Amino acid sequence: PALPTAPLAPVLPPTSVGVFAGIQPSGELHIGNYLGAVRRWVELQRQHECFFCIVDYHAITQEYDASALPQRTFDMAVSLLAAGIDPDRAVLFVQSHVPEHTELAWAFTSVTPVGELERMTQFKEKAQRQESVLAGLLNYPVLQAADVLLYKADTVPVGEDQVQHIELTREIARKWNARYGEGFFPEPQALVGDAKRIMGLDGQAKMSKSIGNTIGILEEPEAIWQRLRPAMTDPARVTRNDPGTPEICNIYHLHRHFSPPATIEEVAQKCRTAGWGCLDCKRVLADNVARVFEPIRQRAAELKAHPERVREILAAGAERAQVVARETMHGVRE
């Protein structure tokens, strides 16, 4: 469904030939990866050839619950389809179903300097939290480059946190082309929208499942309210009568994605004048979030009632992806 505000800027170059985007099998989508990425994927599939991939091989590069991965992969597929990814327009598939991804990644390790991998922000952040760092975590962006370049995609719609990885993808393409033949791989561009970094409900960090500061897009209205109620607001609003500054409040920024323009204006005004308390403001937001996702919730329920249909879509997607993947790998081996 079209969101009421914040239309997507038409920023695609007219020469675009192909779109690739990946997402971790983290279960249900949350409003961060929905607004930052998936909402745009749904737009892009109308006009461009699109490959959307649930990246399960990326998800094993850190400690994870192996027994839960199949369900998380399935749930992500349900969320994507419910959010509007249309298997008649786009190719939706699971990374490990197309083994050419890992094969190309191996070839790419031989044009990728370790120093480049070590300076990746996400690697540094994740590695810092671990006693023993796995080689897969270091090589994570090499697999990501293989994902994109296997389809010779030139446009990669992502949130801000992935831009550095796409820059490295460009460098890998350049190094490959310089060594083996100019023009074999395109140098893809990251496509970053206006919701490039949705903050979590703690107001401290990027919204992310691993931090637990999310709202899932399939959550029931009451659950959405329960999540929003304790969410961080402008710290200057200690009591009900303290005025606030909407621009520094995450709740206000979320309103800008979910509420109609008149409400957004009212929120700002009622915040500055302490006309509303933060709870009043959150209540309105909770209702609007629940309303925007209502049709998606319904579609997800239908899909969950027919799991075989979801599996068929993924199998057909892998087959279509593999036609392209095989051809690229043929050229790579040559």
Q: Which 3 state secondary structure label does DSSP give 93?
A: strand
Give 23 or 91: the residue with its C-beta nearer to ligand TYM. Answer: 23
**114 CB contacts (<8 Å, ≥6 apart)?**
138
304 is catalytic: no
* CB closest to ligand TYM, residue no: 36
33 part of the interface to ligand TYM, by CB under 6 A: yes
> At its nearest, how many Å lie between ligand TYM and the CB of residue 243?
28
161 part of the interface to ligand TYM, by CB under 6 A: yes
DSSP H/E element including 155: strand 155-157
Q: Within 135-154, which residues bind ligand TYM (CB under 6 A)?
A: 144, 147-148
209 is catalytic: yes
Closest CA to 127 of 143, 113, 141: 141
> At its nearest, how many Å lie between ligand TYM and the CB of residue 51?
9
21 part of the interface to ligand TYM, by CB under 6 A: yes
Stretch of 130-138, 206-214, 239-247, 269-277 lying at the interface with ligand TYM (CB under 6 A): 206-214
**45 CB contacts (<8 Å, ≥6 apart)?**
19, 85, 86, 89, 90
CA distance 77 to 130: 29
Neighbours of 86 (CB within 10 A): 12
Q: Pick one of 89, 97, 175, 196: the residue that binds ligand TYM (CB under 6 A).
A: 196
Closest CA to 158 of 53, 59, 83, 70: 53
Q: Pick one of 55, 310, 314, 325: the residue that binds ligand TYM (CB under 6 A).
A: 55
Q: Within 272-301, which residues bind ligand TYM (CB under 6 A)?
A: none
206 part of the interface to ligand TYM, by CB under 6 A: yes
Out of 126, 152, 270, 282, the active site residue is: 126
Structural tokens at position 118: 């070590």
Q: Report DSSP state, residue 59.
A: G
Out of 152, 209, 270, 282, the active site residue is: 209
Give 21 or 201: the residue with its C-beta nearer to ligand TYM. Answer: 21
CA distance 219 to 36: 18
Give 44 or 237: the residue with its C-beta nearer to ligand TYM. Answer: 44
- 217 to 256: interface string for ligand TYM, x by CB under 6 A: ----------------------------------------
Q: Pick one of 79, 162, 288, 322: the residue that binds ligand TYM (CB under 6 A).
A: 162
DSSP H/E element including 52: strand 49-54
> At its nearest, how many Å lie between ligand TYM and the CB of residue 178?
22
Q: Which 3 state secondary structure label does DSSP give 254?
A: helix
Q: Are 161 and 118 in contact (CB under 8 A)?
A: no
32 part of the interface to ligand TYM, by CB under 6 A: yes
Instruction: Estimate the crossing angle of helix 278-304 against helix 261-272, to 10 degrees.
Output: 150
Give 55 or 268: the residue with its C-beta nearer to ligand TYM. Answer: 55
187 part of the interface to ligand TYM, by CB under 6 A: no
Out of 124, 152, 175, 206, the active site residue is: 206
Q: Report DSSP state, residue 91.
A: E
CA distance 311 to 308: 5
24 part of the interface to ligand TYM, by CB under 6 A: yes
Residue type, 150: L
Closest CA to 117 of 147, 137, 146, 97: 137
206 is catalytic: yes
List the catalytic residues.
Answer: 126, 206, 209
- Residues interacting with ligand TYM, by CB under 6 A? 20-24, 32-33, 36-37, 55, 58, 144, 147-148, 156, 158-159, 161-162, 195-198, 206-208
